[in-house]
Amino acid sequence: MPTDPIPKIRIRGLRKRFGDKQVLDGVDLDVMPGTSMVVIGGSGTGKSVLLKSILGLVEPDEGTIEIDGRNILTMSRHERETLNRQIGMLFQAGALFDSIPVWENVAFGLLAQQKMSRDDARKRAGEVLSQVGLAASVGDLSPAELSGGMQKRVGLARAIAAQPSILFFDEPTTGLDPIMGAVIDGLIVDCVKRLGSTAVAITHDMASAVRIGDRAAMLHRGKIVWTGPAADLLQSGNEVVDQFTHGRRDGPIQMELRK
């Protein structure tokens, strides 16, 4: 486990409300450098909002988010943009740009940072595509021509193309068949290892959680109610986690849904 005592990502007392719905209600979470954290929780509990807060796409009402010990919520816009270059994100539904070909999607961040010419970017996109198990010729297709599994792979390729030190995955296996899910999980683990990145993955797929995560955290009613090794998810001893991981209809989470 980590030799570095400072967490890569450190979240304290994070609150966010939409209208009269308190989505995040004091989230505390630490992710150590070079480790993978999976966040589990029911649909609509604010898992995506949590990731988007770290990315600066959602403005939290209260709390702090530190990356490498610096509070990102008080950073200038410029510092924030520089920081965001270190972060890659695979969106829940892929969020591929459908007006440009696949290769340009993959190389988008590289082109935007003006790090390379279009020709070089195209070559680099081919390399990254092969890292996620796609032929370089896929680069010439339009995102709409791809299957769901291929779109996920392209989304993953786009997220890792700039070799970020932090990677976020929002429900990477949702909507895929179990085998494709396992394939994507394998690719994620490979990519994270190869880059030595710190990763946060959101999922409600237990098999996926155990495959991707070193550690796991359960988000429930706007708070992290449990953290522990991902391997312990199925025997956490926590009522909420137990109900969720075993998919039981009775338990503390049902009370919430009935309200």
Partner 1 sequence: MIVLDWLAAIGRAAFAICRTTGAVALFGAEGVSHIVRPPYYGRMFLRAFLEFAYFSLPVVALTAVFSGMVIALQSYTGFSRFNAEGAVASIVVLSVVRELGPVLAGLMVAGRVGAAMAAELGTMRVTDQIDALGTLSTNPMKYLVAPRLLAGTLALPLLVVVADILGVAGGYLVATVKLGLSPSAYLNNTFNFVTTNDVVSGLAKAAVFGFLIALMGCFHGYNSKGGAQGVGAATTSAVVMASIMILAGDYVLTELFFAH
Ligand X SMILES: Nc1ncnc2c1ncn2[C@@H]1O[C@H](COP(=O)(O)OP(=O)(O)O)[C@@H](O)[C@H]1O
Q: Interface residues with Mg ion (CB under 5 A)?
A: 48
Q: Which is nearer to partner 1, 56 or 172 (CB)?
A: 56
45 touches ligand X (CB under 6 A): yes
CB-based contact 14:26 (threshold 8 Å): yes
Cα(36)–Cα(13) distance, rounded to whole angstroms?
A: 21
Q: Which is nearer to partner 1, 169 or 244 (CB)?
A: 169
Binding mask 128-167 for partner 1 (x = CB under 8 A): ------------------------------x---x-----
DSSP 85: T
**Which residues in 141-181 belong to E strands, given as ranges?**
166-170
* Interface residue with partner 1, options 12, 15, 17, 85 (CB under 8 A): 85
108: tokens are 């988008």
Cα(50)–Cα(42) distance, rounded to whole angstroms?
A: 13
Q: Which is nearer to ligand X, 44 or 229 (CB)?
A: 44
Cα(237)–Cα(17) distance, rounded to whole angstroms?
A: 30
Give residues with Cβ within 8 angstroms of 249, minimum separation 6. Answer: none
User: What is the C-alpha end-to-end distance of the chain, expressed in Å?
Assistant: 41
* Residue indicated by tokens 């003006």: 114
Q: Which is nearer to ligand X, 7 or 41 (CB)?
A: 41
* Interface residue with partner 1, options 23, 38, 96, 224 (CB under 8 A): 96
**Which residues in the chain belong to E strands, given as ranges?**
9-18, 21-31, 36-40, 62-67, 70-71, 87-90, 166-170, 198-203, 215-220, 223-229
Neighbouring C-beta atoms of residue 214, cutoff 10 Å:
18
CB-based contact 204:234 (threshold 8 Å): no
112 touches partner 1 (CB under 8 A): yes
Q: Cβ of residue 109: shortest distance to partner 1, in angstroms?
A: 4
89 touches partner 1 (CB under 8 A): yes
Among Mg ion, partner 1, ligand X, none, what does residue 207 contact (CB within 5–8 Å per kind)? none
Q: Which is nearer to ligand X, 17 or 85 (CB)?
A: 17
Among ligand X, partner 1, Mg ion, none, what does residue 57 contact (CB within 5–8 Å per kind)? partner 1
Cα(28)–Cα(7) distance, rounded to whole angstroms?
A: 12
Give residues with Cβ within 8 angstroms of 155, minimum separation 6. Answer: 90, 91, 94, 95, 96
Q: Which is nearer to Mg ion, 138 or 176 (CB)?
A: 176
Among partner 1, ligand X, Mg ion, none, what does residue 221 contact (CB within 5–8 Å per kind)? none
109 touches partner 1 (CB under 8 A): yes
Q: Which is nearer to ligand X, 36 or 45 (CB)?
A: 45
**Contact residues for partner 1, defined by CB under 8 A:** 52, 55-57, 81, 84-85, 87-89, 91-93, 95-99, 108-109, 112-114, 158, 162
**Contact residues for ligand X, defined by CB under 6 A:** 18, 21, 23, 41, 43-49
